[in-house]
Amino acid sequence: MERFTGNFTQQEPIPEDAIAAAVEVMRGGRLHRYNTQGDDPGEVALLEQEFAAAMEAKYALAVASGGYALACALRACGVKPGDRVLTNAFTLAPVPGAIASVGAVPVFVGVTEALVIDLDDLAAKSDQADVLLLSHMRGHLCDMDALMAICDACGVTVIEDCAHTMGARWNGVLSGRHGVMGCYSTQTYKHLNSGEGGLLVTDDAEVMARAVMLSGSYMLYGRHLAAPGPEVFEDVKYDTPNVSGRMDNLRAAILRPQLARLDHQCAAWTDRYRVVEAGLRDTPGLTVIDRPEAEAFVGSSIQVLLLDWSDAAVQEVVARCAARGVELKWFGGAEPAGFTSRYDSWRYAPCEPMPATDRVLRAILDMRLPLTFTLDDCALIARIIRAEVSAVFQAS
């Protein structure tokens, strides 16, 4: 029997020019975001300027983590303690965690078999909150035109969690550019790797001014290259708290060379996705997610469904694949495991029963596709999954 011997958590090395840039920052000792000299704007300000251009946005802010970016965006958009915030039931813990961190209350919206937010459920719940924190979970984009029509009609402000969709597009529009703010992560498993980090973009001057003040600018906002002018800060600087969290120069130095390669990296991920997708298509009992033509996605992970399988049968597939070196994560477990958890396990967030969503979550198998995998690796992985799913399906 074939066996895969690669490592699902091994990322590509940091590029040599990024390492050199980081070493230069360390030799200079000026790691803090505002510890610059002369006319040097610093690595963070330059990263923000370059990221705004890459995301086709007016303004950008680099921060300490993707979770910080989400919480900062919520505060900047006026979310207050006790407010209710709509968000996907299919997401990862930092999303409802960001809502809870500002004292707000998550209101979960269902997921479809396409692994996107259920627009009918969103429309039904749109009167319960003024803000939607939309998670493009695992890189799946919903019909953003339809979603924005629902939210605009109901006066719901949209903040996009683009942790898994940096570089993706819906009908040609970059992920993060439909809502008032787009939030991104540069954690190791994301599309840019600084270990931990985050970025925000917006075209709204007042919202970005609040985000800059929240990030710990003190009164040094004039040093930002991708922020609004000083006149905008006059209206917000006295009533916006300092919740220090802007990125440091070391991580920004690591990220700038990676950003220049983003399009190439995104294409490489999607090449790997397509190989696995093709190898799994038409496997008995397994559903491959069909991606809409309007969605230019980034395939840094892949999800398939074992719809209406028993929990025991799904767990057997996971165990059999693991024995052959293939790591699959299951979103149907009653208890959180590693990075994987589901909406009803976050006990700080009240929730109503969601049977249609539960059916989908119990079916999801999730797998990372690091760029350290070759296309041949991806074909082998697909053969292993196909064989083990087929074996369990035939025995059931």
Q: Return all residues near 86 (Cβ < 8 A) that are at least 6 apart.
A: 107, 109, 122, 125, 126, 128, 129, 131, 132, 133, 156
The string of pLDDT tens digits covering residues 319-344 is 999 999 999 999 988 788 888 888 99
Q: How confident is the model at residue 67 (pLDDT cuts 50, 70, 90)?
A: very high
Model confidence over 155-203: pLDDT tens digits? 999 999 999 999 999 999 999 999 999 999 999 999 999 999 999 999 9
Distance CA 369, CA 265 (A): 12
Under DSSP, the state recorded for 376 is H
Helix (H, G, I), strand (E, B) or coil at 7: coil
Pairing of strands 59-63, 105-109: unpaired
Instruction: Give the pLDDT score at 175.
Output: 98
Residue type, 29: G
Structure tokens at 384: 């292993």
Spell out the domains of the chain, with CATH numbers in brackets: 16-260 (3.40.640.10), 262-395 (3.90.1150.10)
Triad 372, 327, 329: Cα angle to 5°:
120
Angle at 161 between CA 145 and CA 137, to 5 degrees: 85
Query: Per-residue pLDDT for 148 more than 90?
Result: yes
Beta bridge partners of 106: 85
Residue type, 12: E
Output phi, psi for 282, to 5 deg: 70, 20
- Taking only the tens place, the pLDDT of each residue in 4-20 is 999 999 999 999 999 99
What are phi and psi for residue 281, nearest 5 degrees? -60, 140
Q: What confidence tens digit (pLDDT) does each residue in 30-64 have? A: 999 999 988 999 999 999 999 999 999 999 999 99
Q: Which residues of 302-318 are buried (b: 16+ CB within 10 A; e: fewer)?
A: bbbbbeebeeebbebbb
**Rounded-to-integer distance, Cα 374 and Cα 394, Å:** 30
Tell me how far apart the alpha carbons of residues 91 and 102 are, in angstroms, rounded to a whole number. Answer: 18
